[in-house]
Amino acid sequence: MKNFKWDKKYLYWGITAFFVVVASIAFFWILRSLPAISGLISLMISALEPVIYGILIAYLLNRVLIIFENKVFIRLTRRMFKKDPVKARKAARIFSIILTMVLVIGAVTGLMIIVLPEIYNSVEKLVLSSQDYLTAAINWLQDVLDGYALEDVAVEWVNSISGSLVNWLQTKLLPGLGDVIANITGGVISVIATVADLLIGIVISVYVMYNKEIFCAQVKKVVYSVFRVKTANLIISETKAVDEAFGNYIVGTLIDALIVGLINYIFMMLMGMPYVALITILVSLTNIIPMFGPFIGAAPSTLLLLLENPTQALIFVIFTVVLQQVDGQILKPRIHASRTGLSGFWIMFAILFFGGIFGLVGMLLGVPLTTVLYSIIKRLNNRWLRRRGLPEDTAFYRDIDHIDWETRQPVYKRPELRPEAAGRDPEAPAGAVAPDGAAPDAPETGTPSERDGESTKK
């Protein structure tokens, strides 16, 4: 009888096959359970809505809180508690939270008191004047088509639409009025529930803002317990970069929308235009959406003014174009302090892609999300380039054909593109201005520095 020899590779193959089968079964089970999993996630999100609202409110108000705490109250409380810096810091935090919440609640309440009656009057006027607008449109159509064969067809078409509308009201809307009332009741209940969640979220936001250092410390503790120190440091640093990019963009966009809405309100009041509050709210909200937002808000606003006064509608269009130019060239760059770093193509791509998937929310958050992804990819790409001893400047790669894999020197498409032939300083970094005032161009060579070269050899 031959001695049996155990080969570990068969054990490895068996374990591998076993895990492949288990993973396949788990994947199939997940696919079959997607509706149930989706329903469970929706239920969990619905239950946690007050917490989510609280975290979002605290995140948006955190920058205002920091300004009050570091610039105003910390000096006052240090004088109050000279011998106890811990109490001074806690008192400054409490005073800052109180002032922040009072300002926000006061601003929202005042805005509602001022704007809601105006919106109601605008909508009421629009509804009451709708019949006059329809009559004026029919008369205008008859005057335009007077003497043409299309007059009877057009008038008959308008009358047909009116008859269909009356028939729909009598046969569809009135019999289904009970369902409409039920839907309205459900909508009112939903609004009341949302308002209640928001109120609870405000209370939660106070706790989050007061204990934000403790929450951040707990999250860091979990990260360091799960990942290696190097990986955890990378995650934390990237999270800070994401917070900086995302937070600055959101807060800056809200401030910009508020300024644009205020300018629009003042202009319409001075010009004596109708629907001031309604159009101002519409312009402010749509201005949050990059690129397409101003056009989305201007179209229905112009239509409303056109029904009242065509001259005022033309003036509004001209004013909107000028305001958007000022906003895009002056206000937004100053508010954001720096641009997103995205070209027009990527901004449009972000709006279309995320808007197509998530709707209006995707259009609002598409650009900041893309900015965050762009920042992460750029940082990772620069880190990988540094590891390979290659330059990070994009201008370096503009005119080269390839990089020699042995010497790591750039090979140019044509000899005249080399920095020596172009009269540039070979030692100047990419993008530097030439001594003679010429426009900056690509660097002479892509060779790593001596230090990088030595580290690579080692």
pLDDT tens by residue, 276-288: 877 888 888 888 8
Query: What is the arithmetic mean of pLDDT over 30-34?
Result: 73
Both 71 and 194 in a single domain?
Answer: yes
- What pLDDT is stored for residue 225 in this prediction? 92
At residue 341, the pLDDT reads: 59
In this structure, is residue 1 part of a structural domain? no
- Of 75-89, 131-145, 202-216, the least confident: 131-145
Rounded to the nearest 5 percent, the helix, strand and coil shares of the chain are 80, 0, 20
Range of the domain at 332: 229-358
CB-neighbour burial class of residue 54 (10 A; exposed 0-12, middle 13-18, buried 19+): buried
pLDDT exceeds 70 at position 422: no
Amino acid at residue number 57: I
pLDDT for 375: 76
Distance of alpha carbon 434 from alpha carbon 423, whole angstroms: 8
SS3 track for 309-339 = CHHHHHHHHHHHHHHHHHHHHHHHHHHHCCC
pLDDT at 221: 93
The reply to whether 204 and 56 lie within a common domain is: yes
Read off the tokens for 398: 């503009």
Is residue 375 assigned to a domain? no
Task: Give CA–CA dist 47/318, Å, rounded.
Answer: 48
413 shares its domain with 334: no
Q: Residue range 190-211: average pLDDT?
A: 86
Of the listed ranges 250-264, 389-403, 414-428, the one predicted with least confidence? 414-428
Q: Are 315 and 271 in contact (CB under 8 A)?
A: yes
Q: Which of 47-56, 385-394, 423-432 has the lowest mean pLDDT?
A: 423-432
User: Per-residue pLDDT averaged across 350-377, rounded?
Assistant: 77
pLDDT value at residue 276: 84
* pLDDT of 420: 55
Look at residue 367 and tell me if it is in a domain: no
Phi-psi region for residue 373, left (φ > 0), alpha (ψ -120 to 50) or beta?
A: alpha
Task: Output the pLDDT for position 432.
Answer: 40
Are 203 and 255 found together in one domain?
Answer: no
Asked if residue 201 and residue 122 are part of one domain, the reply reads yes
In a domain, 417, yes or no: yes
Number of domains making up the chain: 3
pTM of the model: 0.60
- Per-residue confidence at 266, pLDDT binned at 50, 70, 90? very high
Of the three residues 358, 376, 408, the one that is the final residue of a domain is 358
Flag whether 154 is in a domain: no
Q: How far apart are CA 413 and CA 405, in angstroms?
A: 16
Tell me what pLDDT residue 416 has.
58
In a domain, 430, yes or no: yes
Helices 150-168, 130-144: crossing angle, 10 deg rounding: 160
- Say yes or no: 67 and 195 in one domain: yes
